[in-house]
Amino acid sequence: MTEKTAEVPGELVLQGIGVSPGVAVGEVVVFAAEGIPIPERPITEKDVPVEITRFEEALIKTRHQISEIQRRVSAVLGEEHASIFDAHLLVVDDRYFVEEVIRELHEKHRNIEAVVGSVAERYMEMLGKVEDDYLRERTADVRDVTRRVIENLSGETMDRMGQLERPCIAVARDFSPSDTAGMNRNIVHAFVTDIGSVTSHTAIMARALEVPAVVGLHDISTRVTSGETVLVDGTKGMVIIRPTSERLLAYAKKAEDQKMILCELETLKDKPSETKDGYCMPIAANIELPMEVEGIGRFGARGVGLFRTEFLFLDKDHLPDEEEQTTVYSDVADQCAPDPVVIRTLDLGGDKFASTLKTASELNPFLGQRAIRFCLAHPDFFKVQLRALLRAAAGRSISIMYPMISCVTEVIQANGILEECRKELKKEGAPYAEKLRVGAMIEVPSAALTVDLIAPHVDFFSIGTNDLIQYTLAVDRVNENVAYLYKPTHVSILKLIQQVVQTAHDSRIPVAVCGQMAASPEMVPLLIGLGVDELSISPPSVPMIKDVVRSLRYTECARLAEGALQARTPDDILEECCALLAKRAPEILELIG
């Protein structure tokens, strides 16, 4: 995505991808790109011992910092995410690397920063040539560590985020794991980066820490300078450089109003999610990091409707084994008990790739071997996750669901593998769940149209609207040239949802909606009207959506849906939805406007 608009004098509005909601205003601190300028000067032989001492001190300091980061990451995100720093520590302790640096120091007579930089550069170049995607990516680790050593040598910023003292907005080309690990959310009020996507490391950390973030702004790190004021709107994916006082005032007023509304909404936390006339629409939470479980109760959601497991597999230097996965799934379920947790089996591919998994590069990844297709093609790998899920579900309220189902055969195959795992566990005498609720995600039109065939093999359905819309309308919503065609209110989508709900209900199977549509207030009346049984959304959106549900009547929603299904333009339908929302819950329009 690139900037769309500019032209308010003085201020510059940039459009990127909003990956973590919320608004923040503050002074920018720009973090230099990975290649920080390395000071260079000649030295004489008698300076060498001094340089060596500086080098050793910097190494000790670096080792200490990395251990500290490892400890912090382990505390916040769990031990498995901290293990990446093991390899970082070994780089610092690499005697051969150190000796090579010292040898070159004697030979070249240059200051130690320059020598460390050039030796590291040589290694990175070698790694860059390796014919293996994963190993090639390790250059980032070497770069992360040597940057730290060089920074310690020049005595400048060390722990870039941890060193910040004043509240600010952090801007960079991208942030590395050690950057975000060192940050304090009371200091860093928002993240803004040139590159990245919804699944990039910065995005995941920002959501977990509930800090607004906008990524994919191309060149913002070179457009702003430290000290400038920016406004970050993570909800709309907008960054405004040098906002005018009118703009700030408008946002401030809006923030004030929103705060009041949110306070008001907090009182709904323990109230049931049902319409005025008693239609129950339970709201569960979508989470991706175990640490997000804490927010579920705070925001008043009921259980987890979608636990994405990809994060376990991304950004890591090894695949999580059965034990590790069992522990994560059990912990999340224990924390949510007695409410249920729905865990989605691995949904890799498309735009998400694990560094440790070999996924073939495909010309059209969204139509390629992703999600269930990948898992069925790698049954040994899939079994590790299924066994962990079966074990975790022993005595716990855990259900599982398969993503990207396009044909009933896939459900039958997956269930077959699940049964195999169950037999294995039985033979091994390990505790496991004899009964496990299994669901299919409906996000491909072919599955939506054959729900009757799939129904006998599952206990529930969950509609993933983001993919369902993308596949039905043949629109990539992050492609700005066609994004205008991405319409959740396209009649085809409503017809598909209606068909799924009706067919599923004929077989007495419940249907949840877990995509973005469920978190859009104006879409909620439609979903109620179409007869959806449950919504699953990110925890911070729960109070708002619950308020919408509680202010509506089922009868008016049913009428709205009925009218919408009579083929008309998407915009007409959207207009009617907004009109109903404006009548019933005007405070919510204030909140999202």
Active site residues: 201, 514
Minimum CB separation from another protein for residue 91, in Å? 6
Omega before 212 cis (within 30°)? no
Residue whose CB is less far from another protein, 99 or 246: 99
At 406, the amino acid letter reads: S
CB-based contact 330:396 (threshold 8 Å): yes
Which element (helix H / strand E) includes 397?
Answer: none
Which element (helix H / strand E) includes 442?
Answer: strand 437-442
Residue whose CB is less far from another protein, 85 or 307: 85
Residue whose CB is less far from another protein, 101 or 451: 101
Geometric angle at alpha carbon 200, from 159 and 232, rounded to 5°: 75
**What is the DSSP code string of 172-224?**
ES---HHHHHT--TTTEEEEEESS--TTSHHHHHHHHHT--EEE--SSHHHH-
Residue whose CB is less far from another protein, 88 or 396: 88
Residue whose CB is less far from another protein, 132 or 264: 132
Structure tokens at 239: 């960054």
Minimum CB separation from another protein for residue 99, in Å? 9
User: For residue 495, which of 451, 441, 440, 438 has the smallest C-alpha distance?
Assistant: 451
Residue whose CB is less far from another protein, 120 or 444: 120
The owner of tokens 């700030």 is: 248
Minimum CB separation from another protein for residue 120, in Å? 9
- As a whole number of angstroms, the distance between CA 89 and CA 73 comes to 15
Residue whose CB is less far from another protein, 353 or 460: 353
Minimum CB separation from another protein for residue 127, in Å? 6
CA 340, distance to chain mean position in Å, is: 22
Minimum CB separation from another protein for residue 200, in Å? 20
Which element (helix H / strand E) includes 308?
Answer: none
CB-based contact 283:306 (threshold 8 Å): no
User: What beta strand segments (E) does 23-160 contain?
Assistant: 23-30
CB-based contact 16:1 (threshold 8 Å): yes
User: For residue 321, which of 388, 370, 420, 390 has the smallest C-alpha distance?
Assistant: 388
Torsion of CA 508, 513, 514, 516, to 10 degrees: 170
Minimum CB separation from another protein for residue 572, in Å? 53
Structure tokens at 583: 């009548």
Task: Report the chain's C-alpha Rg in angstroms.
Answer: 26
Chain positions contacting another protein, by CB under 8 A: 83-84, 86-87, 90-91, 93-97, 123, 126-127, 130-132, 134-135, 138, 141-142, 317-319, 356, 358
Minimum CB separation from another protein for residue 142, in Å? 7
At 475, the amino acid letter reads: V
Residue whose CB is less far from another protein, 112 or 523: 112
Q: Is 261 helix (H, G, I), strand (E, B) or coil?
A: helix
Minimum CB separation from another protein for residue 243, in Å? 43
